[in-house]
Amino acid sequence: MPGYTQGDYEWSPDAKLAVVIETATMSETELGAYCREKGLYPEQIQQWKAACLEGAGRQEEQAKAAQKQRKEDRKTIKQLKAEVRRKDKVLAETTSLLAFKKARSLVRRGSGQRRGRLTPLKERARLIALFDEAVVGGASRYQAAAVIGISERTLKRWRSERGAIVEDQRPHAGQRRQPHQLTHEEEQAILNTCHRSEYQSLPPSQIVPLLADEGVYLASESSFYRVLKKHHQQHHRGRMKPRRSVPEPTSFTATGPNQVTSVIVPPLCEVSTGIFT
């Protein structure tokens, strides 16, 4: 410990800390003797002690602030990395879709082709090859399927469990008999009923209720019509004009002034005692 000094400024920080530690357990009498021996005032030692405590508190606050800043920095870095990955994914997907759209003319569907059409095996292979190439390039599956014009479920159905491309099986599928389908005998019974003298001039909408009054049920009204149509016995009869389809009225849409003009036609004039009304 330094001895008597001329001023407080000549005491180094290490010496001040040593004085605070050395006088921490002293009584007031011992502290007074110590201060006279070292040429100090008790107030100086109290100031040094307060400075040490303040420095320790400030150091703790700085440590907490630094820890909080590091935590925020890690969070910011994590967010930036996620944003970079997202942008890289979007960029790769956009690039893949742009390259895919350039080859869209190779797989463009014709005007006569419609949904549910039969797709040949070669065309299926070409479509799936382009689809896989776009997905490997970074494009999402649903967007690549949207560019082709075919749903993702359809492309998935074109593959077998082993990944091989399968041919459309609809042409090879056999027609199964429906469980409630009318048999040949039931159809002939309907025809014979319609040919009977009391039902020859009646439509099925009247034949079925009359049979129900007698406690007989052969088939529904729609089944009667379907059987008659199948055997070419459902035609227009009588002098009444056949039903015709009436076209819908023409509608116009105006997107600017003077594009659509309407004309009000006055009603027909009636002649009464030479005066038009």
Helix axes 221-230, 184-195, angle to 10 degrees: 90
What is the Cα–Cα distance from 114 to 111, expressed in whole angstroms?
8
Torsion of CA 225, 229, 235, 236, to 10 degrees: 40
Q: Do 245 and 251 meet the contact criterion of CB atoms below 8 Å apart?
A: no
Q: What residues form DSSP beta bridges with 276? A: 271
pLDDT for 276 equals 42
Task: Name the more confident of 159 and 274.
Answer: 159
Taking 80 as the threshold, does the pLDDT of residue 275 lie above it? Answer: no
The answer on pLDDT for 171 being more than 90 is no
Range with lowest mean pLDDT among 41-55, 114-128, 258-272: 258-272
Tens digits of residue pLDDT in 208-258: 999 999 999 999 999 999 999 999 998 888 777 777 888 888 888 888 888
Kindly state the average pLDDT of the residues 141-146: 76
Average pLDDT over residues 16-26: 83
Name which residue leads in pLDDT, 202 or 243: 202
Q: How far apart are CA 83 and CA 73, in angstroms?
A: 15
The CA-atom distances, in angstroms, between 140 and each of 128, 160, 173, 239 are 14, 21, 34, 64
Which has the higher per-residue pLDDT, 257 or 148? Answer: 257
- Residue 263: pLDDT over 80: no
pLDDT at 270 over 60: no
- Averaged pLDDT for residues 198-206: 91
Binned at pLDDT 50, 70 and 90, residue 271 comes out as: very low
pTM above 0.85, yes or no: no
Strand partners of residue 165: 159
Compute the average pLDDT of residues 183-205. 92
- Percentage of the residues of the chain whose pLDDT score is greater than 70: 82
With 60 as the cut, is the pLDDT of residue 153 above it?
A: yes
pLDDT of residue 67: 83
Structure tokens at 3: 């001895």
